[in-house]
């Protein structure tokens, strides 16, 4: 009695395919192997190694010849196992690559010792050095006698005391080397306290030992007042 299968779901379709497969495995004995393709062709088909068009492949023969269908099914399973094995090898190779890269990275990365905690040392606050412009004679064009201010060859906060009578407010500050290259350029706010006008400015003189510099200051936009400095 013919079996009836309703194709209402995916599982029913699978059932139908299994039924047909089982049927094909036994329904067409072909003991003399009439019209059978060579083992090579079957293998090429099973391993998907043929570029031939589907119409040129002996598909209709295979589904109507039980020996060929059995052989093809066996070869197809082998091909699928080989594909899975290759995939697993590729996955294993990728894992090895990642592990290798991680090992290399951890070897290169500095090892943090719990004993030597690498807490960043906060930079020491800069020392404040008095820069008393009030005590100096300004240089004027024509080579007037000048008093030279000596300042240390380090980075420090210059507490600049302005000449008597200087107004509080915005000032531009510039420190230049002998060739007029700029060492410091800043805008500052001068404040008056006990009759002395002063401001603070950071002076990075750490690499300037032995140099003659010019300390310049002016109310924004007006004429520079110049003071010679020696760094030692
Ligand atoms: Zn055959």
Distance 55 CA to ligand 1 centre (A): 17
CA distance to 20, 178, 199, 202, 227, per residue, from 172 (Å): 95, 19, 11, 13, 14
Provide the residues around ligand 1 (an ion) whose CB is within 5 A. 36, 65, 68
- Domain count of the fold of the chain: 2
Distance 34 CA to ligand 1 centre (A): 6
Residue 123 maps to a domain: no
Distance 15 CA to ligand 1 centre (A): 25
CA distance to 24, 37, 68, 80, 146, per residue, from 60 (Å): 12, 11, 11, 22, 111
Confidence at residue 5, expressed as pLDDT on a 0 to 100 scale: 45
| 160/93 same-domain check | no
Distance 92 CA to ligand 1 centre (A): 39
Which portions of the chain are predicted below pLDDT 50? Answer: 1-7, 142
Helix axes 39-46, 66-108, angle to 10 degrees: 40
DSSP-derived 3-state class of residue 186 = strand
Distance 177 CA to ligand 1 centre (A): 98
Distance CA 26, CA 29 (A): 6
Distance 44 CA to ligand 1 centre (A): 15
* Domain span including residue 202: 128-231
Distance 46 CA to ligand 1 centre (A): 14
Residue 109 maps to a domain: no
Distance CA 114, CA 46 (A): 60
Residue bearing tokens 């294993």: 92
| 100/132 same-domain check | no
Distance CA 74, CA 104 (A): 45
Confidence at residue 105, expressed as pLDDT on a 0 to 100 scale: 86
| 209/173 same-domain check | yes
* Residue 163: CATH number of its domain: 2.60.40
CA atoms within 13 A on the CB side of 148: 10
Distance 28 CA to ligand 1 centre (A): 9
Distance CA 34, CA 28 (A): 11
Distance CA 166, CA 204 (A): 25
| 147/84 same-domain check | no
Distance CA 4, CA 8 (A): 12
| 169/136 same-domain check | yes
Residue 199 maps to a domain: yes
CB count in 10 Å sphere of residue 137: 13
Radius of gyration of the chain from its Cα atoms, rounded to whole angstroms = 46
Distance 69 CA to ligand 1 centre (A): 7
Distance 57 CA to ligand 1 centre (A): 12
Global pTM reads 0.46
Distance 4 CA to ligand 1 centre (A): 28
């Amino acid at each position: 009695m013919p079996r009836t299968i309703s194709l209402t779901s995916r599982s029913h379709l699978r059932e139908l395919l299994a039924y047909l497969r089982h049927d094909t495995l036994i329904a067409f004995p072909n003991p003399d192997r009439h019209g059978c393709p060579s083992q090579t062709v079957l293998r090429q088909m099973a391993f998907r190694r043929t570029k031939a068009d589907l119409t040129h492949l002996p598909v209709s023969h295979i589904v109507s010849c039980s020996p060929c269908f059995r052989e093809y099914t066996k070869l197809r399973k082998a091909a699928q196992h080989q594909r899975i094995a290759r995939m697993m090898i590729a996955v294993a190779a990728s894992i090895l690559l990642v592990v290798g890269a991680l090992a290399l990275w951890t070897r290169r990365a500095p090892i943090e010792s719990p004993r030597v905690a690498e807490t960043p040392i906060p930079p020491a606050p800069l020392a404040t050095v008095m820069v008393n412009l009030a005590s100096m004679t300004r240089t004027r064009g024509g080579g007037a006698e000048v008093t030279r201010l000596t300042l240390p060859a380090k980075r420090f906060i210059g507490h600049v005391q302005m000449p008597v009578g200087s107004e509080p407010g915005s000032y531009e500050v510039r420190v230049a080397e002998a060739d007029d290259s700029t060492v410091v350029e800043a805008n500052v706010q001068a404040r008056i306290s006990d009759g002395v006008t002063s401001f603070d400015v950071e002076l990075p003189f750490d690499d300037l030992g032995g140099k003659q510099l010019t300390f310049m200051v002016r109310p924004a936009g007006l004429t520079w007042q110049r003071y010679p400095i020696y760094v030692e």
